[in-house]
Structure 1
Amino acid sequence: MKGRVAEGNRRVPGVSGALVSAVARTVPWRALGAGAVVGLLTVGLPRLLSIPPDPWMALNLLRGAALAFALGLAFLLDDPARHITTPVTTPRWIRTGLRAALVAPVAALWWTAALVLVPREVRPPIGAVTLEAAATAALALAAAATAIRLTDEPEPGPSVAAGVLTTAVLAPLLWPGRWTLFVPVGDPRWEAAHQRWAAVLVAALLVWGVCGPEPLRRRRIRPGAGRRRLATPG
């Protein structure tokens, strides 16, 4: 019986209430809030201007809102104390996972509000447009994780956000037409486009997972080390 109780009370290694509280304080809520507000204003623009939206406008406004929130997510992994927290016992993938877990309910509520702001008669299929939004958010998180993995920059958020925004602007112009992602509702390519969106989502999540662990320490060659080796006899 004691053994079963012990197993029931077992916790995930490195996760505690104190850790959750500490991670919550490091989440860039201001950047996320700014992206959320801009996204809701984008979707609500027709209501503010008393302009009845058509289905194509409504779809693009939701896409713009998803991009705005993704730009806020680009700052999610920023950590000014990164070089201080690197040697802690809790793995980085747990800390970043906690950040994502804390933001996920907020993102879900925000996206629900964005969908409600679109009139029902012009609202695009919820499942398909939610897939697009999820893929866009995952791309921002994957880009942020890659920047953390490959560089020593503690706050790559601005650079990541600029890269995501540039990609979003150039993708419709440079992306091959036969692989297009941005199609209107009712287009014969709608289903195929969202299969590609699903592939983008899976690929982004895989990149995020691969870049989750702490970067491997680079071996540094000391000045003169090679000379000493050459000078060592036999």
Structure 2
Amino acid sequence: MLPWRVLGAAGVLGAAMAAGTRLTGHEPDAMTGLLVLRLAALVGGLALAFLFDDPARRTTEAVPVRRPVRAGLRLTLVAPLAAVWWTAVLFLVPAAARPPAGAVTLEAAAIGVTAVALAAASVRLRSEPDPGAGAALTLLALAVAVLLLPSRWNLLVPPGDPSWAEAHRWWAGLLVAAALLCAAGLPEPLHRLRYTPRGRRTPGPGIPPAYGA
């Protein structure tokens, strides 16, 4: 079951933020457009952090379909919708205030894949049934850390800044690293959750277990 409520709420919020740039009564500047798009990308990333939430994971681990297939189906369903949503958000920002689409889309992709990778890693390492909250908090902490980086390592530079191209090479590296982490987190958890039926007893010393136990 996909977290449609979380995804839908984030989608509406991000689109509303972008549409709000047209309702201010005056033409927004380039910095306003860039800020709104980066905030919308972060909102989308926070929603994607909940992609692997599965309260029934204790029972679904026993099904024949392997976890990479189940996770892949989730990604296949959500990725096209996320792409359509981001395209709509881009075009809701007036053209005069819209930063270079490729560069800001690279930033959004890096944020989204990082969120998914954090959730996948949580499931892989701890078999966490609901990794979304922890992954979202970690993503927020990373966003704050990026804001606190020294100026020479700043990733949030404006268009026209001499460091714009260099910063987006770092964004591309972050995207690749997040994709690799996500792929590493998709296999079955290292520590599976164990389900023990209630009422089952362990044979005592010298008593052979019942046939088929």
Class of the TM-score when normalised by the shorter of the 2 chains: 0.7 to 0.9
Q: 1:82 aligns with which of 39, 43, 57?
A: 57
Q: Distance in 1 between matches of 2:67 and 2:120?
A: 11
Q: SS in structure 2 opposite 1:44? A: helix
Which contiguous aligned blocks of 4+ residues in structure 1 show a shift greater than 4 angstroms? none
Mind listing any 5+ residue stretches in structure 1 that lack a counterpart?
1-25, 219-234
Q: Which residue of 2 aligns with 1:143?
A: 118
Q: Distance in 2 between matches of 1:152 and 1:103?
A: 22
Q: Distance in 2 between matches of 1:167 and 1:38?
A: 21
Higher relative contact order (CA 8 A, sep 6+): 2
Deviations 1:113-135 (A, max 9, x none): 10111111221111111100000
Q: Distance in 1 between matches of 2:4 and 2:82?
A: 12
RMSD value over aligned CA atoms? 1.3
Q: 1:27-38 maps to which residues of 2 (within 5 A)?
A: 27-38=2-13
1:91 counterpart = 2:66: yes
Q: 1:50-129 maps to which residues of 2 (within 5 A)?
A: 50-129=25-104
Deviations 1:14-65 (A, max 9, x none): xxxxxxxxxxxx1111111111111112212222332421101101110000
Q: Which residue of 2 aligns with 1:10?
A: none
Structure 1 residue 102, shift from structure 2 partner: 0.3
What letter corresponds to residue 128 of structure 2 in structure 1? Answer: E
Q: Distance in 2 between matches of 1:57 and 1:186?
A: 15
1:182 counterpart = 2:156: yes
Q: Distance in 1 between matches of 2:25 and 2:54?
A: 42
Rate the CA distance shift 1:154–1:211 in 2: closer, same or farther, 3 A. Answer: same
1:208 counterpart = 2:187: no
What letter corresponds to residue 47 of structure 1 in structure 2? Answer: R
Q: Normalising by the residue count of structure 2, what TM-score does the alignment of the two structures yield?
A: 0.86
Q: Which residue of 1 aligns with 2:210?
A: none
Structure 1 residue 88, shift from structure 2 partner: 1.5
Larger fraction in helix: 1
What letter corresponds to residue 43 of structure 2 in structure 1? Answer: A
Structure 1 residue 89, shift from structure 2 partner: 1.6
Size of the aligned set, in residue pairs, is 192
Q: Normalising by the residue count of structure 1, what TM-score does the alignment of the two structures yield?
A: 0.79
Q: Distance in 2 between matches of 1:176 and 1:92?
A: 40
Q: Distance in 1 between matches of 2:71 and 2:28?
A: 39
Percent identity between the two aligned chains: 52
Deviations 1:182-221 (A, max 9, x none): 0000001000000000000000000000111002247xxx
